[in-house]
């Protein structure tokens, strides 16, 4: 099942649990706007290269649309659509005043030079600058993009509209980025995991973790979990995978990964087949890379008791059913990785106020939001007698539905 079909299916199940009528259901499902643009740039060798860029603005009933921009070879319109819809439910689960959007460019950022990436980002911004804005749609980083990408978008946007730092979040701190945003998604994963484990009388320090992906989200999650006493027994990225049942030394792995642009060759563990990472023996599995990686082909082989969805849409609905039968508890993406967009909201608020928070305030506020989100999601599980994914979906969809009706949009 592709990402859009899977997301639509989860939405429809939640709509049914909430008893939404079909007109409102349709109104919530259809995206507000889908943008597709061609981005042609001169490469460093003087030849021209064309890339396709997307921005899907899914819903703005609760506020400006919000979501990352992804640079990856597998970016396609259905996937961006699904990710934009997930942002709508995620911002509502977090209870921050935003709707949902997502963007992407079908490219391999590892194959482009820094100046080619800058030209591509600036051309993409030129094509969409009229459709984004501080109070309309606020992009942020996602896979393959980073604070530098946001700095280029901010600069290009400002040529058309005047200097507007709040038009993107996840910026470098020197340009109005928030302290703590870089770590925020991983830190949110830590807080979410702590809240879940506590329910089962467990804690980070008595669990063994496996993490797929060692980029922004995976590496921060690994660092914070290991600082809190968790044992990380296997990690993978695009370059390879390593295993150490005594626990991987994460600070050393971070250093190696920065110096060698990947975890391959790290001598603090044994190399394993990256394809086997998700089925390694552990208590808690954290997918923090691509979508759709947990599916009917591997779900039966998963050993973990808990899955924390740091990535967006890592689990296919067929795998959801198999894992539920095995008793595996899944903490869904739209709650588990909401720390990133929550601190993006804090960044936007700081930019609009022209006032900078210290990092302790950012982290404390994030913990408050994650704790409240967990409690609200659990409440919906009780009300609708459902699992955590449906708890999160009913929570998010219900909040957006209420805003939609109040604004008179469903009629
Ligand atoms: N950044 C954020 O704030 C948020 C991100 N997310 C989600 O988290 C996930 C990761 O995003 P982010 O960390 O920002 O992205 P990054 O680009 O920073 O990192 C992605 C990581 O995944 C690795 N990777 C890519 N393909 C594979 C693969 N086939 N097997 C194993 N590892 C792979 C990459 O390896 P390499 O670097 O070697 O290519 C890299 O380590 C995505 O699903 C994203 O949507 C969710 C909420 C917020
Ligand atoms: O920080 C943001 O605005 C969005 C982050 C994002 O893309 C996500 O949560 O998937």
User: Is 205 annotated as contributing to ligand binding?
Assistant: no
Is residue 35 within 8 A of residue 57, CB to CB? The reply is yes
pLDDT in tens, the chain (411 residues): 899 999 999 999 999 999 999 999 999 999 999 999 999 999 999 999 999 999 999 999 999 999 999 999 999 999 999 999 999 999 999 999 999 999 999 999 999 999 999 999 999 999 999 999 999 999 999 999 999 999 999 999 999 999 999 999 999 999 999 999 999 999 999 999 999 999 999 999 999 999 999 999 999 999 999 999 999 999 999 999 999 999 999 999 999 999 999 999 999 999 999 999 999 999 999 999 999 999 999 999 999 999 999 999 999 999 999 999 999 999 999 999 999 999 999 999 999 999 999 999 999 999 999 999 999 999 999 999 999 999 999 999 999 999 999 999 987
Measured between alpha carbons, how far is 14 from 32 in angstroms, rounded to an integer?
20
User: Is 185 annotated as contributing to ligand binding?
Assistant: yes
Q: What is the pLDDT of residue 1?
A: 84
Is residue 218 within 8 A of residue 288, CB to CB? The reply is yes
Q: Which CATH number fits domain 30-164: 3.30.420.40, 3.40.50.10860, 3.40.309.10, 3.90.550.10?
A: 3.40.50.10860
Is residue 37 within 8 A of residue 124, CB to CB? The reply is yes
Closest of 235, 199, 202 to residue 217, by C-alpha? 235
User: Is 66 annotated as contributing to ligand binding?
Assistant: yes
Type and span of the H or E element at 225? helix 216-227
Within 13 Å and on the Cβ side, how many CA atoms surround 18? 25
Question: Which of 100, 142, 338 should be mutated for ligand 2, with most atoms under 8 A from CB?
Answer: 142
CA dihedral 175, 362, 97, 189 (to 10 degrees): 110
Q: What is the pLDDT of residue 324?
A: 97
Q: What is the pLDDT of residue 410?
A: 84
Q: Could you tell me what percentage of the chain is helix, strand and coil, using 3-state DSSP and rounding each to the nearest 5?
A: 50, 20, 30
Please name the residue whose Cα sits nearest to atom 4 of ligand 1.
142
Measured between alpha carbons, how far is 245 from 222 in angstroms, rounded to an integer?
15
Is 102 annotated in the active site?
yes
Query: Is 183-331 in the same CATH topology as 30-164?
Result: yes
Domain ranges of the chain: 30-164, 183-331
Query: Which residues have C-beta within 8 Å of that of residue 240, sequence separation ≥ 6?
Result: 262, 263, 264, 265, 271, 274
Please name the residue whose Cα sits nearest to atom 1 of ligand 2.
341
Measured between alpha carbons, how far is 389 from 86 in angstroms, rounded to an integer?
12
* ipTM surpassing 0.90: yes
Atom of ligand 2 nearest to the CA of 340: 1
Where does ligand 2 bind, in terms of residues with CB under 6 Å? 66-68, 90, 140, 142, 169-170, 312, 337, 340-341, 344
Measured between alpha carbons, how far is 311 from 100 in angstroms, rounded to an integer?
17
Tokens standing for 255?
């250093």
Question: What does CATH list as the number for 183-331?
Answer: 3.40.50.720
Q: In 16-52, which positions are buried (b, 16+ CB within 10 angstroms) versus exposed (e)? A: ebbebeeebbebbbebbeebebebebeeeeeeeeebe
Question: Which of 141, 288, 347, 348 should be mutated for ligand 2, with most atoms under 8 A from CB?
Answer: 141
């Amino acid at each position: 099942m592709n990402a859009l079909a899977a997301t639509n299916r989860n939405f429809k199940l939640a709509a049914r649990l909430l008893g939404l009528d079909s007109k409102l259901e349709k109104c919530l499902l259809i995206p507000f706007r889908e943008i597709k643009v061609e981005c042609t740039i001169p490469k460093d060798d003087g030849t021209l290269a064309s890339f396709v860029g997307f921005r899907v603005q899914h819903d703005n009933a609760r506020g400006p649309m919000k979501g990352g921009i992804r640079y990856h070879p597998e970016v396609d319109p259905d996937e961006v659509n699904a990710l934009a819809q997930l942002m709508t439910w995620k911002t509502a689960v977090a209870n921050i005043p935003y709707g949902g959007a997502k963007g992407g460019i079908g490219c391999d950022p590892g194959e482009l030079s820094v100046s080619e990436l800058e030209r591509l980002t600036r051309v993409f911004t030129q094509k969409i600058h009229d459709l984004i804005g501080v109070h309309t749609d606020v992009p942020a980083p996602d896979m393959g993009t980073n604070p530098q990408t946001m700095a280029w978008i901010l600069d290009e946007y400002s040529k058309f509209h005047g200097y507007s730092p709040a038009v993107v979040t996840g910026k470098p701190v020197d340009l109005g980025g928030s302290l703590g945003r870089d770590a925020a998604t991983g830190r949110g994963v830590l807080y979410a995991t702590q809240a879940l484990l506590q329910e089962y009388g467990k804690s980070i320090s008595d669990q063994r973790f496996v993490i797929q992906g060692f980029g922004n989200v995976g590496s921060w999650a690994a660092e914070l979990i290991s600082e809190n006493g968790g044992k990380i027994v296997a990690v993978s990225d695009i370059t390879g995978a390593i295993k150490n049942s005594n626990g991987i030394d994460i600070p050393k792995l971070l250093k190696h990964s920065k110096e060698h642009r990947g975890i391959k060759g790290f001598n603090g563990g044994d190399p394993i087949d990256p394809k086997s990472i998700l089925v390694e023996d552990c208590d808690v599995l954290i997918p923090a890379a691509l979508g759709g990686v947990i599916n009917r082909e591997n779900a039966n082989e998963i050993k973990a008791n808990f899955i924390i969805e740091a990535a967006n849409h890592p689990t296919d609905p067929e795998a959801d059913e198999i894992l539920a039968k095995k008793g595996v508890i899944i903490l869904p993406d739209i709650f588990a990785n909401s720390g990133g967009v929550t601190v993006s909201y804090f960044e936007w608020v700081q930019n609009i106020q022209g006032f900078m928070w210290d990092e302790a305030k950012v982290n404390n506020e994030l913990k408050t939001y994650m704790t409240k989100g967990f409690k609200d999601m659990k409440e919906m599980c009780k009300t609708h007698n459902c699992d955590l994914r449906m708890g999160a979906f009913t929570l998010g969809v219900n909040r957006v539905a209420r805003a939609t009706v109040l604004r008179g949009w469903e009629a």
